Amino acid sequence: AGEAYVIGGASVYGRLLPYCDSCLVTVNDYVPPADQPADSVFPDLDRLPEWTLAEEGGLQEYEGVRFRFCTYRRTG
């Protein structure tokens, strides 16, 4: 059926993730300040048994935030 890219919105991710067989994810080490916690986060695919890390890019940094691009594939 081709490729589609989904950008943003926790509810959109939640609805579409069951239909995905791969995910391109930007993983960062940013921790929001205690007085401004994140209101939503993408599911931690490392903790879900149906997903495996297929590719992991090198560590990069932008304006003090370290990140890497990762590709996850659905198993089974």
Q: What letter would DSSP give residue 39?
A: S
pLDDT digits (tens, 9 = 90+) for 11-70: 888 899 999 999 999 998 888 888 988 877 888 899 999 999 999 999 999 999 899 999
63 Cβ neighbours under 8 A, 6+ residues apart: none
pLDDT for residue 1:
62
d(CA 70, CA 55): 6
- In contact, 45 and 72? CB cutoff 8 Å: yes
Q: Is the pLDDT of residue 8 over 80?
A: no
| Predicted TM-score (pTM) of this structure | 0.81
